[in-house]
Structure 1
Amino acid sequence: MPTRARLALLCQFALFGILNVSWTSRLPSLMTALDIDAARLGQLLIVGGVGSLIGALSSGAVVTRIGARATLAAGVLGHLVGFGLLATAAFTGSVAVFIPGALINGVSSALTNVSINVSAAAVEQRMGRAIMPQFHAMFSVGAALGALIAAGFARAGLGIGVQVVVVLAGATVLRALLIRPATSITLAGSRAATRGGAAREALSAWRERRTLLLGLVLMAASLTEGAAGTWLPLAVVEGFAANEDVGALAYGSFVAAMTLVRIGGTRLIDRFGRVLVLRLSGVSALIGLLLFVTGPSLALAWVGVILWGFGAALGNPIATTAAADDPLRASVRVSVVTSFSTVTSLAAPPLLGLLAAAVGTRQSLLVVGAFIVLSLALAGNARREQPDTIR
């Protein structure tokens, strides 16, 4: 049973990565289809971010009330509707259709994210060893596959609308078939709550010091990973007068390093514990970031990219696992900490963009270093605690 659930969840994480990245890799085609410029696209993408924030803030109560299985089913159905509207918008050139699609997709992504992470925490607890990084590694693999799929459709001259329909159809069928096995294991002691009780329980998690500090750890981890995805290729091109393909290759090296550590990091966590691994990860990310920002040559900066990728790998899964230590409170606490990463994904790109315009893209990334230092200071909160001591 644990093995079957683990394999189903690995597939769910990968499919989630494919859905998230395949369409965002075709944003230039989307701009053409909707006949909008980059500024207008940025405004429209904020709608999806708002949906993600709404979903992140409510998903803890939803999972507590109806369970991870029903929440995941709602996320799959929501993506079917949301991406369906996105494809329709691409075919018709309608911004008005795109807006509700982006909003629904944002909410659905948050519901999916919390439900599969809660289910992964349940499988991890049943197996008695750290396996959460493997799930996040599969998301990275799915993201890479999504980018390759997008590149294939683009090379074939097929529009984003066609791509979304094809990818959505295949992913939805697979996700639907895997819902039951992926959620077959629940956290020990988990319970359903009344509608009002679920809301009160979700709100109470926002008053827990440890949960909020873990949220800050996850915020730093999300920024460490996300800043590379948004700005690393451009920083390479601008900072070293390199071609665009070199910037893309540098980011590919970052993803490869991160995925490698996520696959093998479970043994490190089991052997050395969450706190030490989290601190070593922070040190690696900080050294790598500083090498990239200050390195006088592309070769030295590339070494920094690899170290940065190594360090960015485990913060997210460690913080998520730590939030799920108490089975009774896992869903609401995972919801709270993932809300921090959602806020980061909303606020960081435009703020870093403004800073990059003022001091340069590569130099602006030093801000990420400050958050890594914060994560190092708060790493002790990831220490495993008994349910009756987590407050």
Structure 2
Amino acid sequence: MTLTTSTNVRAAATATFLVFAMNGLVFASWAARIPAVAELLNLGSGQIGTLLLCIAVGSLVALPSSGWLIGRIGTANAVRFAGLLLGAAGVGVALSLMAAAVAPTAGCLFFLGIGIGVWDVAQNLEGADVEHRLGRTIMPQFHAAFSGGAFVGALIGAGLSQLGVGLPEHLLVIAAVAVALALTAPRYFIPHVAAHTGPDGGAAAPKGTSAWRDGRTLLIGVVVLGATLTEGAGNDWIAKAAVDGLHASESTGALLFALFVAAMTLMRFVGGRAIDRFGRVPVLRASMAAAAAGLALFVFSGNIVLAAIGAGLWGIGAALAFPMGMSAAADDPKHAAARVSVVSTIGYVAFLAGPPLLGYLGDHTGIRLALLAIGAPILLALLLAGAAKPLPSK
């Protein structure tokens, strides 16, 4: 039965909000405690970068075909599949860390990346469907749920680290919670119906066309690539950069990461009104300018208080670009699955593959200075922001 009533749309919005939040909690449970991973496995920044690359490769394998998968089994079943895979991979990572085994940890992180990729495309398609039915900008609030879940996960990570609770035990509990929510919340989703699936996944484009050959979609992907590198670098490296570059404790590093995520969360909750008032393009440009300023303050301050202010400004700047990119890719519902899959794939090249490369650079410069490398993609996203302009009403 197709869900069309306002009550069912509200229920779908709540379920989507919870799914985004759980995804953020899972991600932060790993990201906030990367210093603990380095200690357990006795790895340097470059070697940790290789582990992060395993997640990136898994997601990049999954993302291009996620639209096709969702067209076959629907968004609800895609989230269930991803949740089960995330749970199994999380248990594998925990057991591998207990054994201090690097190769099995890397293998489990690869499958964790696959689960993250499928989950991400499915939740964004469901969010776009809900946004279209509500007739107002709500995608940033869904991404605020992701950031809120990540904020809670970061605080939990900081607290457990302070209490001396090991990361493996932490991951086992998170894996169980993720599976439970992934199996229940999607029952309230609005089914994403695609009568015909094309090679990109989701609704088929007219014969002879492809989302990968659509100029606007590719430009949006490039904007999202620059913007998500900003977010991904902050997620993966703020805690480690604070520990290494500012000589902060592991718990203080996790708290700076939590501040970054809290700033993103707050901006995503209020950002929808700003987008509706000023438009996507001006808000996107302002966001990239704020991210650049926050990054510079974090890197050059040399002071924990100023670095914290920089992390907060960085989070504000990183908040809205990805949800705006998803909304822009889904402007035409008939081609939303294919285009969201393409933009997600391009964006996640930066979000997941960029931070490991920063780790390799950090072996030579220190991870705090290595973060300056994301300045160029931030400027590129600012220059190309006009691609996210909404399509004219037909």
TM-score above 0.5, yes or no: yes
Q: Is the 8 A contact 2:13 2:130 kept in 1?
A: yes
Deviation at 1:161?
3.5
Stretches of structure 2 that go unaligned for 5 or more consecutive residues are: 1-7
1:73 matched to 2:80? The reply is: yes
Cross-structure match for 2:3? none
Stretch of structure 1 that moved more, 322-331 or 14-23: 14-23
Q: Deviations over 1:56-87 (max 9, x none)?
A: 12112212233212211211222233223334
Of the candidates 317, 321, 324, which is equivalent to residue 318 of structure 1? 324
Work out the number of aligned pairs and report it: 383
Deviation at 1:222?
1.0
Q: Is the 8 A contact 1:325 1:387 kept in 2?
A: no
In structure 2, how many angstroms separate the alpha carbons of the residues matched to 1:109 and 1:44?
15
> Secondary structure of 2:196's partner?
coil
In structure 2, how many angstroms separate the alpha carbons of the residues matched to 1:238 and 1:159?
21
Q: Is the 8 A contact 1:137 1:262 kept in 2?
A: yes
> Secondary structure of 1:184's partner?
coil
1:162 matched to 2:169? The reply is: yes
1:16 matched to 2:19? The reply is: no
1:130 matched to 2:146? The reply is: no
Of the candidates 373, 381, 387, which is equivalent to residue 381 of structure 1? 387
In structure 2, how many angstroms separate the alpha carbons of the residues matched to 1:303 and 1:377?
26
Deviation at 1:357?
4.7
Letter of the 1:118 counterpart = L
Q: Is the 8 A contact 1:64 1:332 kept in 2?
A: no
Within a 5 Å distance, the mapping from 1:177-256 to structure 2 comes to: 177-181=184-188, 183-184=189-190, 186=192, 190-193=193-196, 198=201, 201=204, 204-236=210-242, 247-256=253-262
Deviation at 1:344?
1.3
1:57 matched to 2:64? The reply is: yes
Q: Is the 8 A contact 1:18 1:142 kept in 2?
A: yes
Change (3 A) 1:151 1:332: same
In structure 2, how many angstroms separate the alpha carbons of the residues matched to 1:249 and 1:218?
27
Cross-structure match for 1:264? 270
In structure 1, how many angstroms separate the alpha carbons of the residues matched to 2:306 and 2:168?
41
Q: Deviations over 1:261-302 (max 9, x none)?
A: 111011111111111111121222223334444558665555
> Secondary structure of 1:365's partner?
helix
Q: Is the 8 A contact 1:123 1:185 kept in 2?
A: no
1:118 matched to 2:125? The reply is: yes
Stretch of structure 1 that moved more, 298-307 or 170-179: 298-307
Q: Is the 8 A contact 1:65 1:195 kept in 2?
A: no
1:309 matched to 2:315? The reply is: yes
TM-score by length of 2: 0.85
Cross-structure match for 1:89? 96
Q: Is the 8 A contact 1:325 1:386 kept in 2?
A: no
Superposition CA RMSD, Å:
3.1
Cross-structure match for 1:107? 114
Deviation at 1:55?
0.7
Q: Is the 8 A contact 1:237 1:243 kept in 2?
A: yes
Q: Deviations over 1:79-134 (max 9, x none)?
A: 23322333443455555644443222211110000000000011111111111111
> Secondary structure of 1:384's partner?
coil
Letter of the 1:191 counterpart = A
In structure 2, how many angstroms separate the alpha carbons of the residues matched to 1:194 and 1:333?
12
Stretch of structure 1 that moved more, 147-156 or 79-88: 147-156
Stretches of structure 1 that go unaligned for 5 or more consecutive residues are: none
Deviation at 1:176?
1.1
In structure 2, how many angstroms separate the alpha carbons of the residues matched to 1:29 and 1:246?
13
Letter of the 2:391 counterpart = E
In structure 1, how many angstroms separate the alpha carbons of the residues matched to 2:361 and 2:90?
33
In structure 1, how many angstroms separate the alpha carbons of the residues matched to 2:229 and 2:19?
24
Letter of the 2:58 counterpart = G
Q: Is the 8 A contact 1:66 1:192 kept in 2?
A: no
Cross-structure match for 2:149? 142
TM-score by length of 1: 0.85
In structure 1, how many angstroms separate the alpha carbons of the residues matched to 2:37 and 2:299?
32
Deviation at 1:243?
6.0
> Secondary structure of 2:210's partner?
helix
In structure 2, how many angstroms separate the alpha carbons of the residues matched to 1:145 and 1:11?
13
In structure 1, how many angstroms separate the alpha carbons of the residues matched to 2:65 and 2:296?
37
In structure 1, how many angstroms separate the alpha carbons of the residues matched to 2:102 and 2:230?
32
In structure 2, how many angstroms separate the alpha carbons of the residues matched to 1:298 and 1:154?
20
In structure 1, how many angstroms separate the alpha carbons of the residues matched to 2:219 and 2:351?
18
Q: Is the 8 A contact 1:67 1:192 kept in 2?
A: no
Deviation at 1:204?
1.8
Q: Is the 8 A contact 1:11 1:138 kept in 2?
A: yes
1:364 matched to 2:355? The reply is: no
